[in-house]
Amino acid sequence: MSDTSQYRYVPGVSEVGDIDLDRTVIHDQNGRRVTEAVAEAEFRAALTRRRNLIPGAKSLSGGSVHSPRLHVVVSTDTERQIRARAAQQHMSVSRWLRTAIEKQLAG
């Protein structure tokens, strides 16, 4: 096995051509093997997430006023659950949290 510690991908600097992920062994940051099927699934998931995000969307407060932001600190387990629920509903975490808060305030 060769020493690969000398190789490092640097976004915006390194150039990577087409790679056959079923023939080349690459692992993600969590140590999972990246295959063509995994890459395709991640690509499709990213497209779905992107459709739910609208940069520069109109103000939630109305008019030309910037919408206020809130900062919340939660446990790692709570964050994991929120991200999972948001993904299940094909929403950004921000949109999911906003919806949950609005439901709580309405009820």
Same domain as 77, residue 45: no
Domain hosting residue 101, numbered range: 70-107
pLDDT exceeding 90 applies to what percent of the chain? 31
Residue 25 belongs to some domain of the structure: yes
Q: Is residue 64 part of a domain?
A: no
Q: What is the pLDDT of residues 41-64, one digit of tens each?
A: 888 887 776 665 555 666 777 766
Q: Burial code of 52-79, b = ≥16 C-beta within 10 A, e = fewer? A: eeeeeeeeeeeeeeeeeeeeeeeeeeee
Lowest model confidence (mean pLDDT) among 10-14, 29-33, 55-59, 79-83: 55-59
Asked whether residue 60 is domain-assigned, the answer is no
Q: What's the predicted TM-score (pTM) here?
A: 0.45
Contact 61, 68 (CB under 8 A): yes
The CATH number of whichever domain residue 105 belongs to comes to 1.10.1220
Domain count for the chain, please give it: 2
Q: How confident is the model at residue 6 (pLDDT cuts 50, 70, 90)?
A: low
